[in-house]
Amino acid sequence: MPSMLDIRRRIRSVKNTQQITKAMKMVAASRLRRAQDRVIAARPYAQTLEQTLASVAGRVPPRPDGSPVHPLLALRPEKKVTLLAVTGDRGLCGAFNSSANRAVLSFLQEAPDRGIESVDVIGLGRKGIDFLKRRGVTWRDQYPGIFSRFDHATAAGIAAKLASAFVAGEIDAVYAVFNEFKSAISQVVVTKRILPVDLPGGRSEGSDYLYEPSPEAILERLVPAHLDFQIYRVLLESNAAENAARMTAMDSATKNAAEMIDSLTLTYNRARQARITKELIEVVSGAAALS
């Protein structure tokens, strides 16, 4: 059985750890509030942008040669694929990073069965980059520390590189693996195709509109804007999910520390009581021997 001094030291150590986890929980909760607001605000915009894109694309007449109305809408066999592996920059967030990393590995392992000849990875987040570096993946680009400070311009820069490679025929498709934010206690790993751009619900015909400039010119602006925002939304979702996972993990750690402190305190009190009882017995035994 450990000594009372060892138990006191351990209680003090656990209390210090509890203070750290409680502080981290509060910080994550504060960041989650802001990240959640950004995600919720982005979702209606993304939905409206998708509907507008589908509506405008439906009014662009087909090209005589049968080619797509925009290069980023071109569907072709997926032989060369780029994968966006989105994780966090830091740990202490439960299974957030490991779940995303497992989904990335699963995608890489299943690629040959789907007819994919090569997969280049773009690492977004230090934890995923460190994990995949030990597994010999082929890199297209790396963005460690991206979540320390990111905005729409960051996503637009990534989207521009991907769009250029897609139009040039260097890649046939782009997928993203990331944690989608559901609630403060729920995050779901999602594998989503980013390129070629999907037209949700088909090409809507609807009512006639007057366009200025032409539908073709509007579509030329809408498709890249949609791609930019798709990547930006992936970053927003992952950032909110990471803060939610960290808040939940730190809350559990704080509660576990409290339970451990109670258990150690009970052990300490028992050891103290046993020591007092032993001393009383020794005093009584000494007094009896002198009488």
Answer whether residue 289 shows pLDDT above 70.
yes
Question: The tokens 């957030």 sit on which residue?
Answer: 96
Distance (Å, rounded) from C-alpha 142 to C-alpha 11?
43
CATH topology match: 4-22+250-290 vs 29-248: no
Q: Which residue type, as a one-letter code, is found at position 82?
A: T
In the set 60, 93, 121, 184, the catalytic residue is 93
The pTM for the full model equals 0.85
pLDDT at position 28: 93
Q: What is the pLDDT of residue 263?
A: 92
* Predicted confidence (pLDDT) at residue 58 exceeds the cutoff of 80: no
pLDDT in tens, 246-288: 999 999 999 999 999 999 999 888 888 888 888 888 778 877 7
What's the pLDDT at 215? 77
What average pLDDT does the segment 237-244 reach? 94
Q: How confident is the model over 106-122, as pLDDT tens digits?
A: 999 999 999 999 999 99
- Residue that wins the pLDDT comparison between 54 and 180: 180
- Please state, rounded to an integer, the average pLDDT across all residues of the chain: 88
**Dihedral angle at the C-alpha atoms of 153, 154, 158, 159, nearest 10 degrees?**
-30
Distance between CA atoms of residues 246 and 127, nearest Å: 14
What residue segments make up the domains of the chain, in order of their start?
A: 4-22+250-290, 29-248
Please answer whether residues 195 and 161 qualify as being in contact, where contact means their C-beta atoms are separated by less than 8 angstroms.
no
Rg from Cα positions in the chain: 29
Identity of the amino acid at 156: A
Candidates 175, 170, 144, 141; CA nearest to 158 is: 141
Ranking 89-93, 95-99, 201-205, 284-288 by mean pLDDT, the lowest is: 201-205
Per the model's pLDDT, the better-predicted residue between 57 and 168 turns out to be: 168
Stretch 20-24: mean pLDDT:
94
Note the pLDDT of residue 203: 46
What percent of the chain is modeled with pLDDT above 90?
56
Name residues whose C-beta falls within 8 Å of residue 284's C-beta, 6 or more positions apart in sequence: none
CATH code 3.40.1380.10 for 29-248: yes
Active site residue 93: yes
Q: Please state, in angstroms and rounded to a whole number, the distance separating the CA atoms of residues 117 and 134.
A: 21
Neighbours of 158 (CB within 10 A): 24
Q: Residue 145: CA atoms inside 13 Å, Cβ hemisphere, count? A: 0
The CA distances from residue 30 to 24, 90, 240, 243, 244, in Å, are 10, 17, 11, 9, 10
Q: Is the pLDDT of residue 126 over 70?
A: yes
Q: Could you report the per-residue pLDDT of 198-220, keeping only the tens digit for each? A: 876 544 455 566 777 777 888 88
CATH numeric code, 4-22+250-290: 1.10.287.80
pLDDT (tens digit, 9 = 90+) per residue, 143-196? 998 998 888 899 999 999 999 999 998 999 999 999 999 888 889 999 999 999
Q: What are phi and psi of 190, to 5 degrees?
A: -125, 140
What number is the average pLDDT over the span 220-235? 91
Question: CA 96, 102, 107, 112: dihedral to nearest 10 degrees?
Answer: 170
